[in-house]
């Protein structure tokens, strides 16, 4: 019987996922909270055939130390932490976890829209601070902005974009615009959505939702000029990656009243530093990159990432990221 492939599991995974991995691979696993420190990954990766991770940078520094490596399996749908060119050059495949998190991330986008529009986090703090006094809600100062029947502009129309569209149109009767690399006629038919230029979307939307993957083309796609096109009553929601926007430009747009508010699950630097001015703004809802973080979805992602890892190493099926499909070890 041939030896099992050797794999490095850099984060704690649910027991059934670990059992599955143990059945098919010879595993060196991190069993503490958090993730294996990078220095330890670099030290242990030298004789590995595969590695399981989620946001650790896969770059020349790591790949140079891993001559046997055939696959990096990421327990995430986004893979901007993969240096695609370096992986291609060494014939290392990269896999990710599409489909299983679409609805969960779309739910979170709506939580951010509702929370920013209806000022949920701000007013929760108001009540808990004992500021709710008789008559305090009779004036207009606690009023928010409707989500239903408003115009949503979705930037990026992949699977998560579609799950957001479904909620927007079927759940909240929203008018829908979208902008993406390619036009999606089926999305237009299903949701009565209108494909438009980025500028048109920014000008017309009440809620601009950023859900495009981070690539060299989408890095800082939204900056000062783009924020200046938005309505002063509009909200900006980012559930993609921090670097798809110019965070400084967002801070200025919020400070100047160029836009009304924002809902952010992602930041330029994560964890975002405590002195980030966004954290002081009552009209900004901030979350610690938890788009896919529910028990079920994170379990499904871990199991899919495990299956991808085993799939590549044993000749089975795997969700290899688009740019690395067909890449073979030299
Ligand atoms: C992903 O999977 O890329 C999401 O950002 C959750 O981490």
* pLDDT tens digits for range 110-160: 999 999 999 999 999 999 999 998 876 667 889 999 999 999 999 999 999
Does residue 147 fall inside a structural domain? yes
Distances (CA, A) of 225 to 45, 48, 279: 44, 47, 23
Residue minimizing CA distance to atom 6 of ligand 1? 292
**33 and 79 part of one domain:** yes
**117 and 173 part of one domain:** yes
Does residue 185 fall inside a structural domain? yes
pLDDT tens sequence across 68-91: 999 999 999 999 999 999 999 999
pLDDT at 1 over 60: no
**162 and 300 part of one domain:** no
**123 and 44 part of one domain:** no
The alpha carbon of 99 and the centre of ligand 1 are apart by a number of angstroms equal to 12
What is the domain range of residue 255? Answer: 102-286
Residue minimizing CA distance to atom 2 of ligand 1? 76
Burial class (CB in 10 A: 0-12, 13-18, 19+), 118: middle
CA–CA distance, 170 with 237 (Å, rounded to integer): 20
Burial class (CB in 10 A: 0-12, 13-18, 19+), 286: middle
Nearest atom in ligand 1 to the alpha carbon of residue 97 is 2
Does residue 329 fall inside a structural domain? no
**241 and 122 part of one domain:** yes
* Residue 252 confidence (pLDDT): 98
Question: What pTM was computed for the model?
Answer: 0.95
- CATH code for position 225: 3.40.50.720
What phi, psi does 7 have (nearest 5°)? -135, 150
Among the residues of 256-325, which ranges form H helices? 295-314
* Residue 174 confidence (pLDDT): 98
* Residue 329 confidence (pLDDT): 72
Instruction: Name the 3-class secondary structure at 297.
Output: helix
| Structure tokens given for 108 | 């979170």
Share in percent of the chain as helix, strand, coil (round to 5)? 40, 15, 45
pLDDT tens sequence across 152-200: 999 999 999 999 999 999 999 999 999 999 999 999 999 999 999 999 9
The alpha carbon of 135 and the centre of ligand 1 are apart by a number of angstroms equal to 43
Does residue 206 fall inside a structural domain? yes
**113 and 177 part of one domain:** yes
The alpha carbon of 105 and the centre of ligand 1 are apart by a number of angstroms equal to 8
**143 and 189 part of one domain:** yes
Does residue 1 fall inside a structural domain? no
**276 and 130 part of one domain:** yes
CA–CA distance, 13 with 238 (Å, rounded to integer): 28
The alpha carbon of 143 and the centre of ligand 1 are apart by a number of angstroms equal to 33
> How many CB atoms lie under 10 A from the CB of residue 128?
9
Does residue 133 fall inside a structural domain? yes
Give, for 44, the enclosing helix (H) or strand (E): helix 38-44
**Domain count across the chain:** 2
CB 56 within 8 A of CB 191: no
pLDDT tens sequence across 284-312: 999 999 999 999 999 999 999 999 999 99
Catalytic annotation on 241?
yes
Among 140, 138, 240, 224, CA closest to 180: 240
Ligand 1 site residues, Cβ closer than 6 angstroms: 76-78, 101, 291-292
Q: Which residues, 6 or more positions from 20, have their beta carbon under 8 angstroms from its beta carbon?
A: 303, 306, 307, 310
**89 and 134 part of one domain:** no
Chain length of the chain: 330
Three-point CA angle 219, 225, 231, nearest 5°? 110
* Residue 330 confidence (pLDDT): 60
Of these residues, 70, 241, 260, 298, which one is catalytic?
A: 241
**222 and 139 part of one domain:** yes
**129 and 217 part of one domain:** yes
Among 224, 269, 236, CA closest to 155: 236
Does residue 258 fall inside a structural domain? yes
**56 and 109 part of one domain:** no
Rg of the chain on CA atoms, in Å: 22
CA–CA distance, 80 with 252 (Å, rounded to integer): 26
Cα–chain center distance at 101 = 10
CA–CA distance, 181 with 155 (Å, rounded to integer): 9
Does residue 177 fall inside a structural domain? yes
Buried-state track 145-179, b at ≥16 Cβ within 10 A, e below 16? bebeebbbbbbbbbbbbbbbbbbbbeebebbbbbb
Three-point CA angle 303, 297, 44, nearest 5°? 45
pLDDT at 16 over 70: yes
* Residue 151 confidence (pLDDT): 98
Among 238, 245, 179, CA closest to 218: 245
pLDDT tens sequence across 229-287: 999 999 999 999 999 999 999 999 999 999 999 999 999 999 999 999 999 999 999 99
* Residue 201 confidence (pLDDT): 98
């Amino acid at each position: 019987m041939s030896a099992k492939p050797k794999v490095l599991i850099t984060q704690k995974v649910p027991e059934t996922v670990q059992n599955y991995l143990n059945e098919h691979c010879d595993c060196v696993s991190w069993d503490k909270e958090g993730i294996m420190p990078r220095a330890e990954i670099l030290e242990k990766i030298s004789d590995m055939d595969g590695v399981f991770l989620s946001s650790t940078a896969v770059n020349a520094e790591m790949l140079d130390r891993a001559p046997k490596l055939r696959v990096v399996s990421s327990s995430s749908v986004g893979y901007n932490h993969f240096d695609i060119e370096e992986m291609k050059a060494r014939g290392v495949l990269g896999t990710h976890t599409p489909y299983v998190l679409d609805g969960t991330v779309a739910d979170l986008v709506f939580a951010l829209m509702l929370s920013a529009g209806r000022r949920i986090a701000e007013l929760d703090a108001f009540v808990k601070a004992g500021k709710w006094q008789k008559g305090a809600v009779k004036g207009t100062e606690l009023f928010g902005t409707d989500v239903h029947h408003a115009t949503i502009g979705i930037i990026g129309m992949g699977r998560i974009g579609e799950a957001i569209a479904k909620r927007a149109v079927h759940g909240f009767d929203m008018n829908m615009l979208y902008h993406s690399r390619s036009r999606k006629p089926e999305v237009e038919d299903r949701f009565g959505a209108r494909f438009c230029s980025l500028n048109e979307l920014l000008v017309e939307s009440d809620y601009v939702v950023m859900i495009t993957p981070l690539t060299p083309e989408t890095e800082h796609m939204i900056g000062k000029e783009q924020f200046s096109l938005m309505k002063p009553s509009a909200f900006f929601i980012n559930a993609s990656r921090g670097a798809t926007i110019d965070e400084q430009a967002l801070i200025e747009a919020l400070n100047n009243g160029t836009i009304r508010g924002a809902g952010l699950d992602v930041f330029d630097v994560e964890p975002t530093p405590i002195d980030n001015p966004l954290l002081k703004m009552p009209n900004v809802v901030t979350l610690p990159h938890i788009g896919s973080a529910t028990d079920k979805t994170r379990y499904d992602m871990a199991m899919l990432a495990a299956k991808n890892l085993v799939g590549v190493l044993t000749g089975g099926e795997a969700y290899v990221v688009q740019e690395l499909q067909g890449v073979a070890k030299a």
